[in-house]
Structure 1
Amino acid sequence: MASLLWGGDAGAAESERLNCHFSNLVHPRKNLRGIRSTTIPNIDGSLNMEENDEDDVVDLAANSLLNKLIRQSLVESSHRVEVLQKDPSSPLYSVKTFEELRLKEELLKGIYAMGFNRPSKIQEMALPMMLAHPPQNLIAQSQSGTGKTAAFVLAMLSRVNALELFPQCLCLAPTYELALQTGRVVERMGKFCVDVEVMYAIRGNRNWCFKRKLIDLTKIRVFVLDEADVMIDTQGFSDQSIRIQRALPSECQMLLFSATFEDSVWQFAERIIPDPNVIKLRKEELTLNNIRQYYVLCENRKDKYQALCNIYGGITIGQAIIFCQTRRNAKWLTVEMMQDGHQVSLLSGELTVEQRASIIQRFRDGKEKVLITTNVCARGIDVKQVTIVVNFDLPVNQSEEPDYETYLHRIGRTGRFGKKGLAFNMIEVDMLPLLMKIQDHFNSNIKQLNPEDMDEIEKLEY
Structure 2
Amino acid sequence: MSEQPSAGGSLADRISKPELSAQADSFQPKSGTSWADEVASPATEEPPSTANMGEAVASESSVADAQVDGATEPFGGSQLQEPAYQVNVKLADLQADPNNPLYSATSFEQLGLSEDILKGVMSMNFRKPSKVQERTLPLLLMNPPQNLIGQSQSGTGKTAAFVLDILHRIDLSSEQMQKTPQALVLAPSRELARQIQGVVKVMGSFVPGLIVEAAVPQDAAARSRKIEASVIVGTPGTTMDMIRKRSMDVRQLKVLVLDEADNMLDQQGLGDQCIRVKSMLPKSIQIILFSATFPDQVIKYAQNFAPGANQMTLQHQDLTVEGIKQIYLDCDSDQAKYDVLVKFYGLLTIGSSIIFVKTRDTALAIEQRMTAEGHKVVSLTGGYEGAQRDVIIDSFRTGHAKVLITTNVLARGIDVQSVSMVINYDVPDKFVGRGKFVADPQTYLHRIGRTGRFGRVGVAVTFISNRDDWEKLMEIQRYFNTEMTKVATDDWDELEETVTKIIKSSRAGNNWKDGAKA
Q: TM-score range by the shorter chain?
A: 0.5 to 0.7
The aligned runs of 1:229-308 (5 Å cut-off) are 229=261, 230=264, 233-235=270-272, 238=275, 241=278, 246=283, 248=284, 254-259=286-291, 261=294, 270=303, 276-283=309-316, 285-287=319-321, 291-301=325-335, 303-308=336-341
- For residue 338 of structure 1, the aligned residue among 364, 371, 381 is 371
- What is the SS of the residue equivalent to 2:483? coil
Aligned-pair CA distance for 1:381: 3.9
8 Å CA contact 1:334–1:344 kept in 2: the answer is: yes
Question: Which residue does the alignment assign to 2:483?
Answer: 444
Contact 2:18–2:361 (Cα < 8 Å) also in 1: no
Q: Which amino acid aligns with 2:488?
A: L
Contact 1:394–1:427 (8 Å) recurs in 2: no
Q: Which residue of 1 aligns with 2:62?
A: none
Shift of 1:421: 2.7
How far off is 1:319 after superposition? 3.5
CA deviation map 1:150-189 (0-9, x unaligned)? 22223313x7776999999843455898699499759855
Contact kept, 8 Å, 1:334 with 1:346, in 2: the verdict is: yes
- Say whether 1:90 aligns with 2:122: no
Looking at structure 1, the residues matched to 382 and 179 of structure 2 have their Cα atoms a distance apart, in angstroms, of: 38
Distance in 1 between the 2:469 and 2:417 partners?
31
Question: AA paired with 1:171?
Answer: A
Q: Which residue of 1 aligns with 2:425?
A: 392
Amino acid at match of 1:238: I
How has the CA–CA distance of structure 1 residues 80 and 161 changed in structure 2, closer, same or farther, with 3 Å as cutoff? farther
Q: Which amino acid is 1:347 matched to?
A: L
Q: Quick check: 179-188 or 377-386, which moved more?
A: 179-188
Q: Quote the offset at 1:293 in angstroms.
A: 1.8
Paired residue for 2:402?
A: 369
Q: 1:82 to 1:427 in 2, by over 3 A?
A: same
Q: Any idea what SS the aligned residue of 1:460 has?
A: helix
Any idea what the Cα deviations from partners look like across 1:378-416, whole Å, max 9, x if unmatched?
A: 344455544444333333444244444444544454555
Aligned Cα RMSD in Å? 5.2
Corresponding residue SS for 1:351? coil
Distance 1:69 1:287, change over 3 A: closer
Write out per-residue CA displacement over residues 75-130 of structure 1, whole angstroms, 9 at most, x where no aligned residue: 64655543222231323544454433344555556x36975754653444344444
1:223 pairs with 2:254: yes
Query: What amino acid maps onto 2:91 in structure 1?
Result: Q
Once the two structures are aligned, what percentage of the paired residues are identical?
A: 27
Residue 273 of structure 1 and its aligned partner are, at CA, apart by 5.9
> Shift of residue 147 of structure 1?
0.9
Contact map agreement 2:178 2:229 (CA 8 A) in 1: no
The number of residue pairs the alignment matches comes to: 391
Change (3 A) 1:348 1:80: farther
Structure 1 stretches lacking a partner, 5+ long = 1-8, 14-45, 54-66
Picking from 446, 450, 459, the partner of 1:421 is 459
Equivalent residue number for residue 66 of structure 2: none
Query: Residues 97 and 10 from structure 1, CA distance in 2 versus in 1: closer, same or farther, beyond 3 angstroms?
Result: farther
Deviations 1:281-331 (A, max 9, x none): 445523478525242333452x43333334545899434333322222222
Displacement, 1:346? 1.4
- Identify the residue that residue 357 of structure 2 maps to in structure 1: 324
Aligned pair partner of 2:165 in 152, 158, 161 = 152
Q: Determine if contact 2:148/2:289 at 8 Å carries over to the other structure.
A: yes
TM-score by length of 2: 0.57
Assess, with a 3 A threshold, how the Cα gap between structure 1 residues 70 and 361 changes in structure 2: closer, same or farther. Answer: farther
In structure 1, what is the Cα distance between the partners aligned to 2:178 and 2:400?
49
Q: Does structure 1 conserve the Cα–Cα contact (< 8 Å) formed by 2:324 and 2:451? A: no
C-alpha separation in 2, matches of 1:318 and 1:389: 11
Query: Does the 8 Å CA contact 2:140/2:146 hold for their aligned counterparts?
Result: yes
Mapped to 1, the partners of 2:172 and 2:114 lie a distance apart of 11
Shifted more, 136-145 versus 175-184: the winner is 175-184
Instruction: Could you tell me which runs of 5 or more consecutive residues in structure 2 were left unpaired when the two chains were aligned.
Output: 6-13, 27-68, 211-227, 233-238, 502-518
TM-score in terms of structure 1 length: 0.62
Matching residue of 2:208: 191
Amino acid at match of 2:144: P
Go from structure 1 to structure 2 and tell me whether the alpha carbon gap of 1:263 and 1:242 turns closer, same or farther (over 3 Å shift). Answer: farther
The Cα shift of 1:240 comes to: 6.4
Larger mean CA deviation between 313-322 and 121-130 belongs to 313-322
User: Which segment is superposed worse, 147-156 or 88-97?
Assistant: 88-97
Q: 1:426 to 1:370 in 2, by over 3 A?
A: farther
